[in-house]
Amino acid sequence: MKPVKSILLIIVSILILSLTACSINPSLGRVRSTPTLETAVLPTEVDASQTVTGIGIPEASISQPVIEEVEVVPLKIPERIQAASFEYSGLGWFGDYLVLLPQFPEGKDFTREAALFAIAKKDLLLAVEDPTVELPVRNVPIFNSDLRDEIKGFEGFESILFVDQTVYLTIESRAGNPMMGYLIMGEVQGELESITLDPESLVELVPLSSARNTTFEAMTFWNGNLYVIYEHNSMQNETQPVAYKFNQDLEFEREITFPVINFRVTDATSSDSSGKFWIMNYFFPGDTFLAVDEDPLVLEYGEGETHAKNEPVERLVELQIEDGAISRVDQSPIYLQLLEDNIARNWEGIALLDEIGFLVITDSFPDSLLGFCPRLR
């Protein structure tokens, strides 16, 4: 019987060694699956301290707070200006009128009568109370807006700012290395009866990176000066972001430091008396070159519930202009409640509506949408 017992002991030993080897190296027995978005957002109880990342989804511990998000309430604009082809690229206040800036006032084929669009504040306040009411919109003729002869590779307008009877606009061109930005000024006739641009006022805005389709999409005004903001101020740049400071005659004053903010900066509000203003901060998952593994704002403050489950980023960040720099106000961003199924809204315009909230507008994706979101603080 001893030989049988010896054989049994050998078999048992071999089985134990095999099981031990499998537990040490699980890849020998199965292929390790890549975590899905759902498993990344909801770690298992066994590994509750795990942090995970994804394209455009900043690294975050599950212990971080969930920030309240605000829903964007669509406001009804006339069908004649709803088409995605308008490609709205900015919002600005002229007195008590909100001005909507199409990227191409004449249309992309330059066959439409050149115009911007204006909505009275009183009508916007009524629409916020009852979003089913269609907003009255009037055309604002704009002259000298076809700048194809003056600007090689003219790609239209990106932002708008009014200071008394003067209007300022930023312009994008594909004729740089590979892009070039421009700044132009013009005059407002009367109570926004029309706008006339001055092509001789054009000044170049040299891009701060070699990224395609990236120029200057935001402006604000404070203490007698314009501050022109580049679209891409991410950690990916490897250089300190800056903004360009101009006087009201479009004479360049200096570069001033700008905070590192991931993703795109697509527009800015007007500044208050203390120099504070808000920017639209947006990430489209298709912009893989802007994706990051971790985002300082998420690590510091947390993120909204829908942002934890989806890839787009749609948030408002408050900034402060000081003498030598623009800095981030130490408070959490305002996150916009995202659409389902990772559908991103290309927010290209933002404006404050008194103290009650923000007006926002999309470019062409997923459609032309003017909306309102309340101010949380």
pLDDT tens profile 105-140: 999 999 999 999 999 999 999 999 999 999 999 999
Least reliable range by pLDDT among 12-16, 43-47, 132-136, 223-227: 43-47
Same domain for 21 and 150, yes or no, is: no
Q: What is the pLDDT of residue 65?
A: 82
In this predicted structure, the answer to whether residue 74 has a pLDDT above a threshold of 70 is yes
- Provide the pLDDT for residue 211: 86
Pairing of strands 242-247, 252-257: antiparallel
Main-chain dihedrals φ then ψ at residue 129, nearest 5 degrees = -75, -35
* 294 or 267: which leads in pLDDT: 267
Lowest mean pLDDT: which of 215-224, 269-278, 289-298? Answer: 289-298
Within this chain, do residues 163 and 131 fall inside the same structural domain, yes or no? yes
Same domain, 38 and 113: no
Is pLDDT at 194 greater than 80 in this prediction? Answer: yes
| Residue finishing a domain among 14, 36, 61 | 61
Domain check: are 25 and 109 in the same one?
A: no
Residues 286 and 217 grouped into a single domain: yes
**Using 50, 70 and 90 to split pLDDT, how confident is the model at 195?**
very high
In angstroms, the first-to-last Cα distance of the chain is 85
Residue 161 has what pLDDT? Answer: 98
Q: How confident is the model at residue 40, as a pLDDT?
A: 30
Cα–Cα distance measured from residue 288 to residue 312, given in angstroms and rounded to the nearest whole number: 11
Alpha carbon distance 52, 43 (integer Å) = 9
Per DSSP (E only), the strands in 79-215 are: 88-94, 97-102, 115-120, 138-143, 154-163, 166-173, 180-189, 194-197, 203-205
| CB atoms inside a 10 Å sphere around CB 137 | 18
User: What does the mean pLDDT of the chain come to?
Assistant: 85
Per-residue confidence at 365, pLDDT binned at 50, 70, 90? confident
Do 198 and 122 lie in one domain? The reply is: yes
Domain boundary, last residue among 61, 85, 112? 61
User: Is residue 132 domain-shared with residue 245, that is, in the same domain?
Assistant: yes
Spatial CB neighbours of 254, under 8 Å, sequence gap ≥ 6: 245
Helix, strand, or coil (residue 236) = helix
The CATH number of residue 317's host domain is 2.115.10
Number of domains in the chain: 2
pLDDT of residue 160 exceeding 80: yes
> In this predicted structure, which of 48-52, 112-116, 315-319 has the lowest mean pLDDT?
48-52
Mean pLDDT for 323-341 is 93
The mean pLDDT value for 38-55 works out to 32
The answer to whether residues 117 and 20 belong to one domain is no
Q: In the structure encoding, which two tokens stand for residue 311, read together?
A: 């890839």
Domain limit, last residue, from 43, 61, 79 = 61
Has residue 191 got a pLDDT over 90?
yes
pLDDT band, very low/low/confident/very high, at 367 (cuts 50, 70, 90): confident
Domain region containing 215: 69-374
Supply the pLDDT for residue 376: 78
50 and 74 together in one domain: no
3-state DSSP call for residue 329? Answer: coil
Least trusted range by pLDDT, from 195-204, 234-243, 356-365: 234-243
One domain for residues 342 and 265: yes
What average pLDDT does this structure show over 162-183? Answer: 95
* Closest C-alpha to 104, from 46, 171, 151: 171
Same domain, 114 and 239: yes
pLDDT greater than 50 at residue 213: yes
Cα 316 to Cα 353: distance, rounded to the nearest angstrom: 14
Q: What is the mean pLDDT of residues 253-271?
A: 96
Residues 162 and 232 in one domain: yes
If pLDDT is split at 50, 70 and 90, which confidence band does 231 have? very high
